[in-house]
Amino acid sequence: SAVISQKPSRDICQRGTSLTIQCQVDSQVTMMFWYRQQPGQSLTLIATANQGSEATYESGFVIDKFPISRPNLTFSTLTVSNMSPEDSSIYLCSVEAHEGTEAFFGQGTRLTVV
Amino acid sequence: GENVEQHPSTLSVQEGDSAVIKCTYSDSASNYFPWYKQELGKRPQLIIDIRSNVGEKKDQRIAVTLNKTAKHFSLHITETQPEDSAVYFCAASIPGTASKLTFGTGTRLQVTL
């Protein structure tokens, strides 16, 4: 299994500001993903973080709002830009340690926008 | 894209009874079907998964069945215990992207004494 450290674990932010969430893995992984879990809801995939190239976004998510970096095989960041109360959610990173294997999740970042 | 439906949204059972959660998927190319358990305030944890070349898989009190023709799969928990109380999510993915998951809407399971 992979050990995933996600920071911060929670934050309260003012609307209009941005927050960057970090995801660090204890080993090199093939795939990294970012999910959003709105209050009381299921998980929705935001994007695939590609190492060395631009992230691949799912329908309904755009780079200007959720810029993602992945400078190496163990680290990724997700920024939530120009936040509004509707962005209040839990954001989770997920990794696939080896191709075709199960997904592991970070502990999540609980974001509240006021 | 893939669409995964999950039923029921809430399920209450007495301790010792069985619980069954059902999911259907839309993309016939999907070949990996994990189930996650999420306790309040915690991350989703994989409890069991099944691939499309298998019809059933068991792990102690938990089993998953898959019907590829009908495009549905189910989670079965026997001899439920209070610690089984959580939200359960089914998910599906297509070949080559086992971790790129489409999740069901979740089932809140409550096991009562």
pLDDT in tens, A33-42: 999 999 999 9
At A96, is the pLDDT very low, low, confident or very high (cuts 50, 70, 90)? confident
Give the pLDDT confidence score for residue B54 in this predicted structure: 82
Tell me the nearest-neighbour CA distance from A58 into chain B, angstroms: 10
- With CB atoms and an 8 Å threshold, state whether B101 touches A43: yes
At B96, is the pLDDT very low, low, confident or very high (cuts 50, 70, 90)? confident
pLDDT of A103 over the 90 cut: no
Q: DSSP letter for A58, please.
A: P
Mean pLDDT of A90-107: 87
Tell me the CA distances in angstroms from A21 to A77, A81, B72, B84, one per residue in order.
5, 11, 36, 31
At A5, is the pLDDT very low, low, confident or very high (cuts 50, 70, 90)? very high
pLDDT of A71 over the 90 cut: yes
Partners of residue A41 in chain B, C-beta under 8 Å: 105-106
Strand order in the sheet with B4-7: B4-7, B19-25, B72-77, B62-67, B56-59
Partners of residue B101 in chain A, C-beta under 8 Å: 43, 45, 94, 103
Rounded (5°) CA angle B78-B84-B86: 130
- Token representation of residue B83: 């610690």
Partners of residue A100 in chain B, C-beta under 8 Å: 96, 98
* Test mutation, A48, A105, A112, chain B, max B CBs within 10 A: A105
| Cβ of residue B100 closer than 8 Å to a chain A Cβ | yes
Give the pLDDT confidence score for residue A102 in this predicted structure: 82
Mean pLDDT of B2-28: 97
